[in-house]
């Protein structure tokens, strides 16, 4: 409304009166905006500043998620607080929001340090981390000591605790130098090492564990400094002091009842590394598991107008044809349906094979129908698979990025090369739906296409008539030349 009012003031009045009133309108709007922020009541609302990323906060196909988000949401619910998340692009932005009292707390994977404790209050710690030196094993030998880092290109995040560690090490190694990259995020730093733009970086162990599946050539060389503790940072004011008691009680409870451990396992111990199952393993599953489900898969696929081999491939990728499969995130069954998707597709029992297959097939078809008509087969199927894994919103974002880069946003060949950009801050910061695990979605589609192609090939191989054998394939090479001369 404010922007509409300002637009009205600046476009409908004649000069010079226009400029005078425009200035007055702007003053009014700034005052109104300040007034709006002052209406924030920390007793009923919780405003949280965070970073967009895998271990903090991002949007997936089922809504907002991330380790920090899930943790904060549980705290807000326990206090009956209305939750508002604000995602910014750097640690400097986070600390500015705290300093200016524009946020009640920062949940952004922040390490408690003596320097930070002089400015902010901290919640109880919820995760112990180490600071790892990361290198590219493809281009560099593993460094063993700090002396090996002298004269190399080290890039870290601006205002990070890693800078404090390097400053301490510099006292013993004066020639040690590094560069603090403004607005750089974890993925930016890993990209730079992977691409050869830097030699080393320093990453918290939890961040590297969550992201290393996307960087197969990166390794941890050794630890730097002492182990650290992650915690939420709060402005040093009266409201924060009053909040500390509830924070201490909350963290004590989730540590005792296992909630914190479950969240740590969910985001750091499972499914963060997308590993492609070998063809040999899949072939064995086709022989041992598929026969007991094939008839039902074929029946369901026919009912929903799908190729049964595609439905079989999706269900294998989702659960390895395990009807009782269950992930740490709560998705279950042959097609690993969320509770929300199951309700949307009118599925009562997610671990019932037939219901799960029907729910997954119906959901896949629904997504496929929502895609623009300009996307044709077979690309339409691959787009739908990516959306099945990632959510339609992120596919809209990556189509826009593809178009901006001059690619064809209706072709999978062009789109798939841009999916990983949804993990890069310089790209996702300008999208509607923000960060997404684009590389994982790409691997998801590639795996399913691989399984689908295998099933196609296997069926064709069984039904085809072998070509006539040529006599020369049975002759030793020493005799082939004699026949050629005849």
Question: 20-30: per-residue pLDDT in tens?
Answer: 334 334 333 33
Q: What percent of the chain lies above the pLDDT cut of 70?
A: 82
Residues 137 and 185 in one domain: yes
Instruction: Look at residues 247, 268, 289 and tell me which one is the last residue of a structural domain.
Output: 268
Residues 105 and 135 in one domain: no
Across residues 418-444, what is the average pLDDT? 92
Residues 121 and 143 in one domain: no
Average pLDDT, the chain: 84
Q: What is the pLDDT of residue 466?
A: 44
Evaluate whether residue 475 is within a structural domain: no
Evaluate whether residue 476 is within a structural domain: no
- Residue 255: give the domain boundaries: 49-126+235-268
Evaluate whether residue 482 is within a structural domain: no
Is the pLDDT assigned to residue 473 strictly greater than 80? no
Is the pLDDT assigned to residue 32 strictly greater than 70? no
Evaluate whether residue 181 is within a structural domain: yes
Residues 362 and 451 in one domain: yes
Residues 170 and 284 in one domain: no
Is the pLDDT assigned to residue 221 strictly greater than 90? yes
Give the integer Cα–Cα distance in Å for 390 and 440: 9
Q: Minimum mean pLDDT among 122-136, 257-271, 321-335: which range?
A: 257-271
Q: How confident is the model at residue 17 (pLDDT cuts 50, 70, 90)?
A: very low
Residues 358 and 444 in one domain: yes
Evaluate whether residue 480 is within a structural domain: no
- The question of whether 377 is a catalytic residue gets the answer no
Across residues 121-125, what is the average pLDDT? 97
Q: How confident is the model at residue 62 (pLDDT cuts 50, 70, 90)?
A: low
Evaluate whether residue 474 is within a structural domain: no
User: In CATH, what number is assigned to the domain containing residue 78?
Assistant: 3.40.190.10
Residues 366 and 447 in one domain: yes
Evaluate whether residue 472 is within a structural domain: no
Residues 418 and 452 in one domain: yes
Question: What's the pTM value of the predicted model, to 2 decimals?
Answer: 0.63
Q: How confident is the model at residue 41 (pLDDT cuts 50, 70, 90)?
A: confident
Residues 183 and 208 in one domain: yes
Residue-wise pLDDT tens digits, 331-382: 899 999 988 899 999 999 999 999 999 999 999 999 999 999 999 888 899 9
Catalytic one of 197, 318, 354, 459? 318
Domain count along the chain: 4
Is the pLDDT assigned to residue 78 strictly greater than 80? yes
Residues 444 and 371 in one domain: yes
Residues 177 and 69 in one domain: no
Across residues 292-309, what is the average pLDDT? 95
Q: What is the pLDDT of residue 61?
A: 58
Evaluate whether residue 371 is within a structural domain: yes
Residues 243 and 367 in one domain: no
CA distances to 24, 64, 200, 393 from 433, rounded to whole Å, are 35, 10, 31, 6
Query: 78-82: long-range contacts (C-beta < 8 A, 24 or more apart)?
Result: 78/246, 78/250, 78/253, 79/46, 79/246, 79/250, 80/44, 81/44, 81/45, 81/46, 82/44, 82/45, 82/46
């Amino acid at each position: 409304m404010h922007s509409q009012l300002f637009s009205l003031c600046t476009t409908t009045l004649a000069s010079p009166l226009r400029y005078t009133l425009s200035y007055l309108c702007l003053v009014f709007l700034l005052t109104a905006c300040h007034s709006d922020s002052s209406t924030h009541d920390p007793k009923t609302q919780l405003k949280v500043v965070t970073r967009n990323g895998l271990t903090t906060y991002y949007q997936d196909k089922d809504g907002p998620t991330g380790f920090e988000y899930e943790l904060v949401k549980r705290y807000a619910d326990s206090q009956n607080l209305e939750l508002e998340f604000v995602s910014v692009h750097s640690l400097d932005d986070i600390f500015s929001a705290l300093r200016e009292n524009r946020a009640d707390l920062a949940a952004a994977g922040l390490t408690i340090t003596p320097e930070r404790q002089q400015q902010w209050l901290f919640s109880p710690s919820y995760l112990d981390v180490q600071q790892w030196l990361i290198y590219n094993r493809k281009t560099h030998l593993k460094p063993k000591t700090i002396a090996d880092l002298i004269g190399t290109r080290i890039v870290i995040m601006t205002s990070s605790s890693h800078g404090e560690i390097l400053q301490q090490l510099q006292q013993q190694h004066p020639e040690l130098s590094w560069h603090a990259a403004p607005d750089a995020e974890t993925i930016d730093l890993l990209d730079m090492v992977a691409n050869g733009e830097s030699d080393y970086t320093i990453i918290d162990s939890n961040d590297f564990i969550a992201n290393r599946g996307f960087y197969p050539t990166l390794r941890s060389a050794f630890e730097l400094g002492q182990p650290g503790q992650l915690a939420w940072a709060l402005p040093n004011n009266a409201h924060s002091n009053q909040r500390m008691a509830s924070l201490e009680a909350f963290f004590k409870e989730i540590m005792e009842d296992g909630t914190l451990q479950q969240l740590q396992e969910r985001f750091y111990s499972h499914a963060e590394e997308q590993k492609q199952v070998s063809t040999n393993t899949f072939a064995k599953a086709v022989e041992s598991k598929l026969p007991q489900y094939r008839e039902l898969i074929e029946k369901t696929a026919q009912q929903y107008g799908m190729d049964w081999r595609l439905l079989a491939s999706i269900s294998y990728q989702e659960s390895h044809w395990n009807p009782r499969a269950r992930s740490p995130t709560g998705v279950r069954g042959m097609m690993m349906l969320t509770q929300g998707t199951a309700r949307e597709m009118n599925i009562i029992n997610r671990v019932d094979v037939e219901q799960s297959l029907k729910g997954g097939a119906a959901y896949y078809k629904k997504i496929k129908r929502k895609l623009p008509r300009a996307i044709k087969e077979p690309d339409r199927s691959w787009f739908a698979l990516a959306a099945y894994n990632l959510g339609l919103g992120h596919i809209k974002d990556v189509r826009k990025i593809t178009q901006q880069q001059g690619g064809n946003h209706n072709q999978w060949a062009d789109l798939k090369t841009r999916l990983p950009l949804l993990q890069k801050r310089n790209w996702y910061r300008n999208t509607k739906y923000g960060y997404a695990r684009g590389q994982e979605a790409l691997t998801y589609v590639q795996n399913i296409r691989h399984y689908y192609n295998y099933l196609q090939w296997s069926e064709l191989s069984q039904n085809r008539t072998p070509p006539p054998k040529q006599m020369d394939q049975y002759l030793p090479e020493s005799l082939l030349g004699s026949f050629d001369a005849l």
